[in-house]
Amino acid sequence: MSARKNKIRTDAGIFPSMVYETLQNMGVDVDLIFSQLNALQHPIDYPQRDLRYDNRVQKKFWELTEVITQNSNIGLTVVHHLPTFRGQLFEYIFLSSANFGDALKIAMKYYQFFTTGLDIELHIEDDTVTLKGFHHPVRHYLECTITIVLSFFDYISQGKFQAQEIWLSYDNTEFQDLYHELWHCPVYFNQPHGCIKFKAEILEYASPSAQPDLFLLHQAIIEKHIELVDKHELVIQIEEALGEQLKLRQFALEDIARILKLSPRKIQISLKDIGTNYENVLSSFRQKLARQLLAKTALKHDEIVYLTGFSEPSAFSRAFKYWTGESPSSYRHRMQNSTDHGSIEIMCKNSKAGSS
């Protein structure tokens, strides 16, 4: 599949949900991590499986997680505890297909339903299959993704799948034994691209529960879902435009449509297809921005009113009280005087200073 022209990249909620639950089971203070993010698409403190999230949040998420756990290889630690990826459309595709190869081709066609954060390509040459495109600026994210793929292939083939080699484009040679223990195959660092290599014979593995009719039905269902991905990513595009337009007091639907070069009608139809509308997106973004500015800056009240696009302080205060149940001043006091909040900010600063 070719690289996406759209700069927005997202993950289905299943991925951050799996990581959230795994960290929670490990005893990590995930609520502290997510409360510090303030970058989720929706103003919540935990990920939901039926939403999509901006992939760029992965950088901040793993930075916070690494600092809180004091573990520079937290990704490798997490993957040891990740559950097998199950109960999703891709599982049903593999189970109902005639063989592993047929299902893999469909998975390659629609993998962006799971993530658009990677550009995966399938190459078959002689007796070797290569999945290319495992490259991401956040190492921990990539290691979790590769592990999810490998464990799923192992599960769906009843233990017959085995990776031959894994290439990584970064260097972590010092911990090569950890990778080998995790993935059970040679791992090569500093490669020109990231990939998973395995024997082509697995493509002929016949599914014991193959049902041609269900296979076609599952394809049709996943095709409908993939059509919604761009519409979910439209929400993030709207939010990016709002970040600037709120200050200009030019944030009507028509203003945003002009910036995105879409008709207002097309935007509303796309948002309706994913169960929301422009007014909800606007309100959600304002709430998230207000929370972030109150919790993480020393900006005056009037400045925050301006940045969130409100005409007067009283209107902002009423809206914030409606969103959160507390006044802007009490929210700021609670967040900025939180022991956890202060300590994590210091830890992050010290971590960055130490790495510079």
pLDDT digits (tens, 9 = 90+) for 302-313: 999 999 999 999
Q: Sheet containing 187-188: which strands, arranged edge to edge?
A: 121-125, 128-132, 195-199, 163-167, 187-188
Q: How would residue 4 be classed by pLDDT, with cut points 50, 70 and 90?
A: very low
* Confidence at residue 355, expressed as pLDDT on a 0 to 100 scale: 46
Whole-number Å distance between alpha carbons of 143 and 174: 16
| Res 2 pLDDT > 70 | no
* Confidence at residue 42, expressed as pLDDT on a 0 to 100 scale: 40
pLDDT digits (tens, 9 = 90+) for 266-310: 999 999 998 999 999 999 999 989 988 998 889 999 999 999 999
pLDDT digits (tens, 9 = 90+) for 236-246: 899 999 988 99
* Confidence at residue 200, expressed as pLDDT on a 0 to 100 scale: 97
pLDDT digits (tens, 9 = 90+) for 205-218: 999 999 999 999 98
* Confidence at residue 38, expressed as pLDDT on a 0 to 100 scale: 57
Total number of residues shown for the chain: 356
Please tell me the least confidently modeled range out of 4-18, 70-84, 235-249, 315-329. Answer: 4-18
- What is the token pair recorded at 302? 């009037």
So where are the chain's domains?
10-225, 229-349
| Res 1 pLDDT > 50 | no
* Confidence at residue 105, expressed as pLDDT on a 0 to 100 scale: 94
* Confidence at residue 199, expressed as pLDDT on a 0 to 100 scale: 98
* Residues in contact with 294: Cβ distance below 8 Å, sequence separation at least 6, in sequence order: 304, 328, 331, 332, 335
Fold annotation for 10-225: H-NOX domain (3.90.1520)
| Res 356 pLDDT > 60 | no
Distance of CA 285 to the CA centre of its chain: 18
Beta-bridge partners for 12? 52
What's the mean pLDDT when you consider all of the chain?
88
pLDDT digits (tens, 9 = 90+) for 26-74: 999 887 787 777 544 443 456 777 778 889 889 989 999 999 999 999 9
Residue 87 Ramachandran class (φ > 0 left, ψ -120 to 50 alpha, else beta) = left
* Confidence at residue 43, expressed as pLDDT on a 0 to 100 scale: 39
pLDDT digits (tens, 9 = 90+) for 127-174: 999 999 999 999 999 999 999 999 999 999 999 999 999 999 999 999
* Confidence at residue 113, expressed as pLDDT on a 0 to 100 scale: 86
* Confidence at residue 56, expressed as pLDDT on a 0 to 100 scale: 87
Q: What angle do CA 22, 82, 23 make, to 5 degrees?
A: 20
Whole-number Å distance between alpha carbons of 280 and 287: 11
Identify the three-state secondary structure at position 343.
Answer: helix
**Domain 229-349 has what CATH class?**
mainly alpha
| Res 231 pLDDT > 80 | yes
* Confidence at residue 224, expressed as pLDDT on a 0 to 100 scale: 84
For the chain, where are the alpha helices, taking DSSP H only? 14-25, 30-37, 57-69, 74-79, 89-96, 100-110, 139-156, 176-183, 212-227, 229-248, 253-260, 264-273, 278-296, 301-307, 313-324, 328-336, 339-355
| Res 118 pLDDT > 60 | yes
